[in-house]
Structure 1
Amino acid sequence: MQTSVSRTFRPALSLRSGRRRLGLLGSALITVVAIAAWVLWPVSQSRADTVSLFPDDAVPAVVTEQDRRPVELGMRFRVTEPVAAVAIQFYKSAANTGPHTGRLWSGSGRELAKARFAGEARRGLQVADLDRQVLLRPGRDYVVSYTAPKGRYSADQNLFARPVSRGPISAGVSAGVYSYRPGTFPTRTFGATSYAVDIVVRPTGSSSPSTSTSPSPSASTSPAPSVSPSQSPSPSAPSSAPSSSAPPATTPPAETDSKLPPTSVPAGFPDAASTGVPEGVRLSPYTGPCTITTAGTVIDGKTVNCALKIRAADVTIRNSVVNGTVYNDEDSDGLGFEIIDSEVRIGNRGGTGISNVGFTVVRVEVTGGNRSINCWRDCTVRDSFVHGQFTDLTGVAHESGIRMGSGGVIRHNTITCDAPDVPPDAGCSAGLTGYGDFAPVRDNLIERNVFLTTTGGACAYGGSSEGKAYPDADHIRFVDNVFQRTAARPNCGYWFPIASFDTSAPGNVWRGNVWSDGGVVPPG
């Protein structure tokens, strides 16, 4: 890739070539061109040996995304030889107004250098020098990013569907990353998207950095495989993300934000004392099958040490502890179940506690895993407590309390996602999520719940997530809910109490939703 200064120098080069073709212009023009070349040459020489991942004349497939939220957009990369990072560049749409700040990070999220963009062109490639040159070493992950304070960034949705390399710079699958916490380490990915942000490096053999800084070793994990966002640094928020559905957000701006101090459940809402196995119930080991195929099966007063797969109708689990998960298939019409006065302990691992179709949950406490409950279709969750999702040290899991699909009634529960952020991509999206990835989000009643503060970007999502296959959610009714706020989380979530709620969609209702300390919560 040409450097930014090489790009600046091109007009002079084109004039010189024009002069050779049109030698009749005369000595005056020749003199002007010669002076221009003489003035620009030292600048061009100073960076003629630099390289970046993308060519200077590359134009993103989507010049202006519609997402207007403030977002940090980045690219995870490695180098194959020692080089000095000297500048950051990104492609700017006319709608992507500043100020813009670039950052270079270690793979573990330590800020190594910063670049401030000034005198920007209205549109096109923007370049800014780092405030100090940084020595990059092979075998380590780095992230380059910039802040788009009003969104409207540029993107190529599938550019990172396979690894990309140029010179000593390489970016793996899903190298595009984002965070809806501007100025913080971006980790979310969406749709193998590139966000048109790039690093400019110089081989150390040609010019040693004047202020070389060797970053502390980072985990040498390869860039996270999978998808990067083109429309939603999906919070997932986020994530990530940016997904207007949410990116969401996973990695904290500082260690103190990665895990919130404990918060108490407001009086009158479900907690550990009012959910789970009632006091005095004596449990005995469950010895029945883990795949339930007999209609009307009842599991009562048991400790279940396996995942229960429900393949029958009218199954009841009550007064029990399930050390695992309870689920049926997404196409399980007529194969419903209910869980009452019980605990579902997913454990310190990934997994969804209760899912997918035609179930009822009453006075149940769900802990562990990366998602407490998935209401894919036609479920009721009431008087229950979902919290305590696991800490994913692999840095992969996107976590949430309850995910809504269609036909759900979520009434009088205590809901949160409180797992800490773990780079590169693990952490909470929200207490309640609803993303139209695979089917429409519609016809859900969310009533009289309390949303505890969350480590995620928002406490709840409304289902209208741009960039998803089904972005338009309808008949989503938030009624008489309480959103907790504290000094550490004055917005309940890191950014918002609620995101991706479309007040103009058919049947959508936002009524009577208040803060825990008084005042009306706005719908967006």
Structure 2
Amino acid sequence: MTAGRRRALIVGVLAVALLAVAGVAYAGRAGWIPGNAAAGDQYRLANPVPPSGGAATPGGTGGLGASPETTGSPDASSTSTSAPAPSPAPPPEVTRPGEDSTGVPDGVTLTAYTGPLRITQAGTVIDGKRIDGCLDVRARDVVIKRSKLTCGGIMLKIEQRTANLTIEDSDLDGAQTGFVAGYWNYTLSRVDVYNIEEGPRVGSNVIIADSWFHSMHPAQSDEAHQDLMQTNGGSNSTIRGNVFDATSTVAGVSFNAAFQVGAEFEPLENVLVEENWFNGGGYTVNIRNDPQISNVLFRNNVFGPRHGYGEVSRADSPGIIWEDSNVSEADRKPVW
């Protein structure tokens, strides 16, 4: 064999070998080698929507990253086997305290209270009394129960932030000009409150529960902004299971709010307002746009039909947590 023919044979063999190697490499990338159909899939990002066609099938409609399979025409919507989302649970019914569950219990005979209206003795208990006059509480751990207090001024004046006053199962008659209490460390429980110009002031460490506030009387002033309940700041208070009916029986008279919420005097924080029935006012719950409000939660409250402008103002204010469980009595739909 001549040298020229030997060189031509070597070149031919090398060319065939190079073509074979290139074909194998291309076949491997394309998935043409038996047993290697999923080559490269381990490097793909998982599709957040699981494919409907099962295992990956090159060229098919059910592989990784593919759209869910459809049936019928190309425009048909995809089928789904997932169960429908459950309907949200209806808000709980609100128990409305009233004549049968608040105030002096049936069968209690009241006798005249002859003690001091300024209370300075810690642990004083007033039980089954008819109190004619306003109380000025300047002692700790005073309890008033199964009694009726009639006062046309500040009905319960709490001088000390540490008073820890409790009023339960009692009537508070404002004699058409009174307002209930202010401002700190007191509890009202199962109390019937009526004939008032203003309701309780809520400061710090206040509990108002299972009570009935109604029959507001118009103030003798055109500039009055009457509220059935009001807070101007404070912390750690709970308002639960009450009726606040800020309506008037006098034609043409309306009141500012059933609950006026703000932080004018000090920060307002950590307040729970739940399972109450609110009615009346311009805005039934009127929230000021004060910056120092935090963690004030409204939930499971029901709103009656009466209001001038709406059930609530500024429910999306910073620091206000307003849940969808606050509903209108008329249609049980969320308020706001």
- TM-score, normalised to structure 1, is 0.43
Q: Of 314, 322, 325, which aligns to 1:500?
A: 314
Alignment of 1:426-441 (within 5 A): 427-441=254-268
**What per-residue deviation string (whole Å, max 9, x for no partner) do you get for residues 446-496 of structure 1?**
0000112x1x2111123xx23xxx4442211011111112xxx4xxx2111
**What per-residue deviation string (whole Å, max 9, x for no partner) do you get for residues 187-223 of structure 1?**
xxxxxxxxxxxxxxxxxxxxxxxxxxxxxxxxxxxxx
Distance change >3 Å, CA 479–CA 267, structure 1 → 2: closer
User: Does the alignment pair 1:408 with 2:237?
Assistant: yes
**What per-residue deviation string (whole Å, max 9, x for no partner) do you get for residues 14-58 of structure 1?**
xxxxxxxxxxxxxxxxxxxxxxxxxxxxxxxxxxxxxxxxxxxxx
Contact 2:324/2:335 (8 A) holds in 1: no
**d(CA) in 1 for partners of 2:319, 2:180:** 32
Number of residue-to-residue matches in the alignment: 239
Aligned counterpart, 1:327: 157
Contact 2:315/2:322 (8 A) holds in 1: no
Q: 3-state SS of the aligned residue for 1:268? A: coil
Give the structure, 1 or 2, with the largest relative contact order (CA under 8 Å, sep 6 or more): 1
Aligned alpha-carbon RMSD (Å): 2.2
Q: 3-state SS of the aligned residue for 2:255? A: strand
Distance change >3 Å, CA 422–CA 354, structure 1 → 2: farther
**d(CA) in 2 for partners of 1:402, 1:294:** 29
Contact 1:420/1:428 (8 A) holds in 2: no
Aligned counterpart, 1:446: 273
Q: Of 283, 286, 294, which aligns to 2:113?
A: 286
**d(CA) in 1 for partners of 2:320, 2:137:** 33
Aligned counterpart, 1:70: none
**d(CA) in 1 for partners of 2:185, 2:156:** 12
Distance change >3 Å, CA 509–CA 391, structure 1 → 2: closer
Contact 1:446/1:479 (8 A) holds in 2: yes
**d(CA) in 2 for partners of 1:400, 1:420:** 16
Distance change >3 Å, CA 394–CA 517, structure 1 → 2: closer
- TM-score, normalised to structure 2, is 0.66
How far did 1:422 drift? Answer: 9.2
Runs of 4+ in 1 over 6 A off after TM superposition: 420-423
Alignment of 1:51-450 (within 5 A): 268-324=95-151, 325-329=155-159, 332-349=160-177, 351-404=178-231, 405-406=233-234, 407-419=236-248, 427-450=254-277
Aligned counterpart, 2:283: 458
How far did 1:506 drift? Answer: 4.2
Q: Of 293, 301, 319, which aligns to 1:473?
A: 293
Aligned counterpart, 2:303: 483
**d(CA) in 1 for partners of 2:249, 2:296:** 29
How far did 1:418 drift? Answer: 1.6
Contact 1:416/1:430 (8 A) holds in 2: no
**d(CA) in 1 for partners of 2:267, 2:194:** 27
Aligned counterpart, 1:248: none
Mind listing any 5+ residue stretches in structure 1 that lack a counterpart? 1-265
**d(CA) in 2 for partners of 1:473, 1:501:** 12
Contact 1:400/1:416 (8 A) holds in 2: no
